[in-house]
């Protein structure tokens, strides 16, 4: 919805430099044998935070490579179309950022 961001405006190789291009490239690789990876919504991404942990606010036994930083979700900010919601894995919680900003991505698969 709204502004989709800047295609190839960042620093990446091997795919279009936007979340849609990243998802498409990953699905072509069939990571873990699957080709239905997608961007999570705010609730899905927030559900794996662990507020008893910090920097990163997640159970590192299950998610050992998580960076204590913001991760994009698939949810645009309704009143600010150049922005989308993110989940912050330094201390937990969610916020929104401009789609031109470089944030981390964690994909999910299965139901919506």
**How would residue 110 be classed by pLDDT, with cut points 50, 70 and 90?**
confident
Average pLDDT over residues 49-76: 95
**Could you tell me the pTM of the whole model?**
0.86
- CA–centroid distance for 104 within its chain: 6
Residue 99: partners with Cβ closer than 8 Å, 6 or more residues away: 3, 4, 5, 6, 82, 83, 84
| pLDDT per residue as tens digits for the range 72-93 | 999 999 999 899 999 999 999 9
Q: Is the four-CA dihedral 53, 58, 63, 65 of positive or negative sign?
A: negative
Sorted by sequence, the CB contacts under 8 Å of residue 58 that are 6+ apart come out as 48, 49, 50, 66, 89
Kindly report the backbone phi and psi dihedral angles of residue 19, in degrees, each rounded to the nearest multiple of 5, phi listed first: -65, -35
């Amino acid at each position: 919805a709204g502004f989709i961001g800047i295609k190839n405006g960042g620093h990446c190789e091997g795919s279009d430099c936007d979340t849609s291009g990243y998802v498409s490239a990953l699905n072509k690789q069939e990571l873990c044998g699957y080709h239905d990876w997608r961007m999570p919504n705010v609730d899905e991404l927030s559900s794996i935070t662990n507020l008893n942990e910090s920097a990163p606010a997640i159970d590192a036994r299950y998610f050992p490579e998580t960076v204590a930083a913001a991760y994009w979700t698939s949810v645009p900010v309704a009143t600010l179309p150049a922005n989308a919601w993110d989940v912050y894995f330094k201390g937990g919680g969610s916020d929104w950022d401009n789609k031109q900003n470089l944030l981390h991505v964690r994909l999910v698969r299965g139901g919506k």
